[in-house]
A and B are shown apart, each in its own frame.
Chain A
Amino acid sequence: MIKFVKKYLIFLVIIICLATIFICTTIGVANISVSQTVNILFNKITSIGNVEGVKESTIAIIWNLRFPRVMLAFLVGGALSICGVAYQGIFKNPMADPFLLGVSSGAALGATIAIVFNISAIFFGLDMITVFAFVSALLTLLLVYNISRIGNKVPVPTLLLSGIAISQFLTAIISLFMIFSDQMNRVVFWTMGSLNAKSWNHLILILPYVIIGFIILFRYHRQMDIMLLGEDTASQLGVNTEKLKLVILVVTAFITAATVSVTGIIGFVGLIIPHIVRMIVGPKHKKLYPYSFVLGGILLIICDTVARSLINQEIPVGIITAIFGGPFFIYLLKKRKRGGI
């Protein structure tokens, strides 16, 4: 049985993934029947079938809101997970998550400035909060990288420490802005992450970063495996570790900045998914990346579905990921300890 599951694991995961996307698209606060949902989705994707007679608002809810939101959750969950894999590999630190170097605080500062100063303009169909968050996240990582650079090298401990320092510093500035503003709750909500009111344009915004980022990360999967032996050993074995670090940092910076600027800070996915996947498929990055992407996507779809349909108001999805993710992760850790693997 286990052998069978292992052999066909990839198919199993894909089937679960498709099923999750479909089931979660049928769930929501608006009362729309499953058959209607199927009808609309089928019609929109294949342009076969007939949606005449269906209310305009029903079509809008399924095709312009719910389905893109589910797909966005998949993309964001996957993106955060592969960044988590890359960070945990390069830092050789099980606590690493995509927000380790302050990308979240950077994005939050940008968003806070846009919210507090009420900067309101539309930029290629995106609001200023997204644009500010994206730019500010990238600038933060640039700053952290430059602070940590000693000559041609970027030692990992320095990188971690300057990341933490900058991140704390930015958080303090955000708190300062919040104290002097009446928009405190909006800032707080932003930092808890949400996929509310996100649609195709947001999906299209982050899609290229995620696809290109995934391809580049995947190309370096062998070097990442060697990195697990330690930076010194890796460079003796011919890996250009400084270049590898730079590539990983730049790629993950763009992926996380893009996702965070759209959704706000969604914690925990990028931390736990790599660990869970490592328990299932082992430490090889060739398998870690694709499986983490799909499982991370599934997890965030489920969490977001809970966030939007549990009660008749939105719950920030970051809360859900932490509430479900935390105990589940602890359970896995305990179980693994007992099994002695």
Chain B
Amino acid sequence: MIKMNKVLIIITLLLMTFTWTACSNADNSGEEDTNSNGDTSVTETTYPLTITDDLGNEVTFEKAPEKIVSVSPGITETLFELGLGENIIGRDGASDYPKAAQDLEIVGDYKGPNTELIIDLAPEVVFAYESIPEDVNQLLEASNIKVVVFNPTNVDGVLENIKQVGVITNKQTRANELIESMSAKRTEILEKVKDVDQKKVFMDLGDFISVGPNTFINSILEEANAINIASDSDTPWPTLSIEKIIEDNPDVYISTYTSVEDIKSVVGIDVIEAYKNDNIIVIPWGTEEHNMIQRPGPRVVEGLEIYANTIYPELFE
């Protein structure tokens, strides 16, 4: 009995060592490729290339992928920006920008891509958001289709993703140009809002569901130098009680769903600053403007500008 226990302990220890080494290896390789490929002076990718995606999975490419399926609207936009529109053979239903993307075949939506359609198209790689279900992921990998998952939580994350797509597809020069122009515009906006008197913002995604900490939109509001009244919530998508909204008294009320009349008809809302100063703004769901503010892609800086402009219009006259 005691012997058995000893064996078990040894096996456990061995296993732990292995996993630890495996983990630290993953970390190392991740650092390595940011060193070798992250340098802007290197513009050609050397294959085979191993990258670590936002979920920490390692993916190895033998050559630049030529047949790509993108089930993430932001990445679809990135690919078009990098001049890879012709390499995309499938997209999710929401990938509607640029216009050329709309002619591509739809392989499901970003939450539930259709594995059969994707495997039938036989792409070399699928680019997805972290919302892709794990079992879909495994099915695709079992069919020898590489899956790279992105999970940007702020503008920096988006820039990182663009860089990574550039590295994978050997379009580093174009990716760097894109990142530079985005960063330049971003700096310009950050410069404008830097010293402003901070305003409190309530973001309403419908029925007072708002954006909590660790969400993409929250990070954009922070960049725009605004105070998100829901940022102290316990969950990413909290439903705020109207009592809290009134107590926090937001200066700006941004809704992506209801109409201004609907919001104004909520009893008690007339005491908040946003109501008194007519600062209730609706950016309707599904419009180009709305896509820009919620889509982590190359137009994210334009989205940032829309937010900054909505919250501090006086700075952008």
A residues in contact (CB < 8 Å) with B: 28-31, 56-57, 60-61, 64-66, 68, 115, 118, 120, 122, 125, 127, 182-183, 185-186, 189-190, 194, 196-197, 199-201, 308, 311-314, 316
Contacts and interface: CB of A to CB of B under 8 A. Distances in A.
A199 B233 CA distance: 24
A314 B235 CA distance: 11
Contacts of B233: 312-313
Nearest to A196: B241
B268 A64 contact: yes
A122 B265 contact: yes
Interface of B: 206-209, 212, 230, 232-235, 237-244, 246-247, 249, 257-259, 261-262, 265-268, 270-272, 285
9 contacts: A30-B243, A30-B246, A30-B247, A118-B257, A118-B285, A196-B241, A312-B232, A312-B234, A313-B239
Contacts of A118: 257, 285
A316 B241 CA distance: 11
B234 A65 contact: no
Nearest to A115: B206
Contact of A189 (B239, B241, B272): B239
A199 to B, nearest CB: 3
Contacts of B238: 312-314
Given A65-B242, A118-B285, A313-B241, A60 B268 contact: yes
Nearest to A315: B239
Given A61-B247, A120-B259, A314-B239, A199 B267 contact: yes
B246 A61 contact: yes
B268 A61 contact: yes
Given A60-B270, A120-B258, 4 more contacts: A65-B243, A122-B261, A197-B242, A197-B266
Contacts of A194: 239
B242 A189 contact: no
Given A57-B272, A183-B206, A127 B262 contact: yes
Given A31-B247, A65-B246, A183-B206, A313 B268 contact: no
A120 B262 contact: yes
A311 to B, nearest CB: 6
B268 A311 contact: no
B25 to A, nearest CB: 39
A31 B247 CA distance: 8
Which 9 pairs from chain A and chain B are nearest by CB? A199-B267, A313-B238, A30-B247, A64-B268, A314-B239, A197-B242, A60-B268, A60-B271, A57-B271
Nearest to B234: A311
Nearest to A201: B267
Nearest to B207: A186
B199 to A, nearest CB: 17
**For A125, A185, A313, which residue has the most chain B Cβ atoms within 10 angstroms?**
A313
A185 B246 contact: no
Contacts of B235: 313
Given A120-B258, A314-B240, A57 B246 contact: yes
Contact of A182 (B262, B272, B285): B285
Nearest to B94: A182
B268 A29 contact: no
Contacts of A190: 207
A65 B261 CA distance: 19
B121 to A, nearest CB: 23
Given A120-B258, A127-B262, A66 B207 contact: no
A185 B209 CA distance: 9
Contact of B246 (A60, A120, A189): A60
A67 B235 CA distance: 27
Contact of A314 (B212, B241, B267): B241
A197 B262 contact: no
**Which of B207, B238, B257 has the most chain A CB within a 10 Å cutoff?**
B207
A30 B271 contact: no
Contacts of B230: 313
B234 A314 contact: no
Nearest to B257: A118
Contact of A196 (B208, B234, B257, B270): B208
Nearest to B248: A30
A115 B207 CA distance: 10
Given A127-B262, A313-B239, A314-B241, A186 B208 contact: no
A66 B268 CA distance: 10
Contacts of A201: 267
B271 to A, nearest CB: 5
Contact of A65 (B206, B240, B268): B268
B242 A196 contact: yes
Contacts of A64: 267-268
Nearest to B262: A120
Contacts of A60: 246, 268, 270-271
A194 B208 CA distance: 12
B203 to A, nearest CB: 14
A56 B273 CA distance: 12
A125 B265 contact: yes
User: Max chain A CB contacts within 10 Å: which of B234, B241, B244, B267?
Assistant: B241
A187 to B, nearest CB: 10
A61 B243 contact: yes
Nearest to B239: A314
B12 to A, nearest CB: 38
